[in-house]
Amino acid sequence: MNEKVNMKCPQCKNIVEISSEFKPFCSKTCKNLDFLNWANEEKSIPMPDDSTSD
């Protein structure tokens, strides 16, 4: 049985081909972008607060 499942790229929301080698991303670019986001969060750099509301 060949079940076709359409996946959506978590990065750009494009449809990802089930045979994509970059699953669950649509392309290498999106895969790299996600990794960069993850890496940035891991470092948890304290963000300088520009808009001081107090």
Closer to Zn ion by CB, 12 or 18: give it.
Answer: 12
Is residue 26 at the binding interface for Zn ion, with CB under 5 A as the rule?
A: yes
Residue 50, number of CB atoms within 10 A of its CB: 5
Closer to Zn ion by CB, 5 or 47: give it.
Answer: 5
CB of 27 to Zn ion, least distance (A): 6
DSSP H or E segment with residue 8 = strand 7-8
* Neighbouring residues of 19: CB distance < 8 A, sequence distance ≥ 6: none
**β-bridge mates for residue 7, sequence order:** 16
By CB under 5 A, how many residues form the interface with Zn ion?
6
- Residues lying near Zn ion in the complex (CB under 5 A): 9, 11-12, 14, 26, 30
